[in-house]
């Protein structure tokens, strides 16, 4: 398989800009594409801010800043990805949007370019049907965690027709930027979100049964289980609307064990979405 040198990232939002940064820090040339050049350039600005934070924390040498950022090119046309060796898509979590993106990329990208989706919940096998059958072996999922420039784990998800060689090439690529990939079957929620939401749902039950307060449940997870953040503070960082949407998808596939709790629905109905609205499980208005 050809050596991967040029990376394309589609979607310059929260995940796309961070994934692009992770590859740029790993020494790759990255083109980051969004619907307009302006949005793509805003993605590069987000990357710059994240990189500056990492430099401040001593995680990246100041001297590397220019080289990392010089390797990143914001683009708006699919043709700009024609010589990419690996393209990862992080556009809206919507099947139609993603299918259109993949079909367009399939037309312009070289025949040996590997395609990876960062989808959290759409079947990789289903998404792979957007590309011509000759590329099916080169299509897989690569699920990063937020913030992707920092979080080491990536779930690598082969679809029904993904070649083992592609899985290996992507695992090697991810290791080359300091990530720890794990191979996961193409099931709803993959591995991490199933474990994570089982815990969040149980945390909501504890509150409903008045077993403990959100503050104490967070304390229990941090001091008793060694988690860096408690489930309530984490739900507020992530956005409760998104948490509910993920649980509805898991519930549809796995039934009762993932039924979203009424207290989470109530938070969403009240627009207590978390830090983003100034109030979630906790109040951030002060
Ligand atoms: N947010 C998370 O914590 C998280 C974690 C893992 C995976 N994901 C997945 O990553 C993907 C992106 O999530 P996000 O939170 O970064 O979303 P986001 O809304 O922050 O960013 C999406 C970006 O895609 C762009 N976009 C939409 N349609 C496009 C198109 N046709 N061509 C090019 N760009 C287009 C948008 O302009 C936007 O900049 C989703 O599939 C999501 O499920 C998210």
Question: Is 253 found in the same domain as 173?
Answer: no
CA 242 – ligand 1 centroid, Å: 13
DSSP 128: H
Give the domain CATH number at 209. 1.10.1040.10
Residue 286 maps to a domain: no
The token pair that represents 252 in the structure block: 């549809």
Q: What is the pLDDT of residue 3?
A: 83
Residue 120 maps to a domain: yes
Q: Which of 89, 92, 118, 274 to mutate to test ligand 1, by most ligand atoms within 8 A of the CB atom?
A: 92
Give the domain CATH number at 28. 3.40.50.720
Residue 245 maps to a domain: yes
CA 232 – ligand 1 centroid, Å: 24
What span, in angstroms and rounded, lies between the C-alpha atoms of 10 and 101?
A: 8
What span, in angstroms and rounded, lies between the C-alpha atoms of 59 and 180?
A: 17
Residue 80 maps to a domain: yes
Tell me the per-residue pLDDT of 166-209, one tens digit each, with 9 for 90 and over.
Answer: 999 999 999 999 999 999 999 999 999 999 999 999 999 999 99
Question: Is 196 found in the same domain as 269?
Answer: yes
Name the nearest CA neighbour of 32 among 44, 50, 48, 22.
44
Q: Is 120 a catalytic residue?
A: yes
Question: Is 152 found in the same domain as 94?
Answer: yes
Q: Is 155 a catalytic residue?
A: yes
**Out of 17, 143, 243, 247, which one is annotated catalytic?**
143
Name the nearest CA neighbour of 23 among 157, 152, 174.
174
Residue 43 maps to a domain: yes
In short, whether 216's Cβ falls inside 6 Å of ligand 1 is no
Tell me the C-alpha to C-alpha distance, in Å, between residue 23 and each of 169, 181, 266, 285: 15, 14, 39, 36
Q: End of a domain among 143, 163, 183?
A: 183
For residue 226, the enclosing domain spans 192-275
Q: End of a domain among 162, 183, 204?
A: 183
Tell me the per-residue pLDDT of 37-66, one tens digit each, with 9 for 90 and over.
Answer: 999 999 999 999 999 999 999 999 999 999
Q: What is the pLDDT of residue 31?
A: 98
Residue 263 maps to a domain: yes
> How many distinct structural domains can be found in the chain?
2
């Amino acid at each position: 398989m050809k050596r991967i040198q040029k990376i394309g990232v589609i979607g310059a939002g929260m995940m796309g800009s961070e994934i692009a940064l992770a590859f740029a820090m790993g020494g790759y040339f990255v083109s980051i594409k969004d619907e307009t050049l302006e949005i793509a350039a805003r993605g590069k600005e987000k990357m710059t801010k994240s990189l500056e934070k990492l430099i401040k924390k001593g995680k990246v040498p100041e001297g590397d800043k220019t080289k990392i950022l010089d390797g990143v090119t914001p683009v708006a046309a699919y043709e700009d990805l024609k010589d990419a060796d690996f393209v990862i898509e992080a556009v809206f979590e919507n099947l139609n949007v993603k299918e259109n993106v993949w079909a367009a990329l399939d037309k312009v990208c070289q025949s040996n370019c590997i395609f990876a989706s960062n989808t959290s919940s759409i079947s990789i096998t289903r998404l792979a049907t957007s590309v011509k059958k000759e590329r099916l072996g080169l299509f897989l999922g690569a699920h990063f965690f937020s913030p992707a420039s920092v979080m080491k784990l990536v779930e690598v998800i082969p679809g029904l027709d993904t070649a083992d060689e592609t899985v290996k090439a992507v695992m090697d690529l991810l290791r080359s930027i300091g990530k720890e990939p794990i191979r996961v079957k193409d099931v709803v929620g993959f591995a991490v979100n199933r474990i994570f939401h089982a815990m969040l749902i149980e945390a909501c039950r504890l509150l409903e049964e008045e077993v403990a307060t959100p503050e104490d449940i967070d304390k229990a997870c941090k001091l008793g289980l060694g988690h860096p953040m408690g489930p309530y503070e984490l739900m507020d960082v992530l956005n409760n609307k998104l948490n509910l949407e993920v649980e509805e998808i898991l519930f549809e596939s796995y039934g009762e064990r993932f039924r979203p709790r009424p207290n989470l629905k109530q938070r969403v109905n009240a627009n207590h979405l978390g830090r983003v609205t100034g109030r979630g499980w906790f109040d951030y208005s002060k």
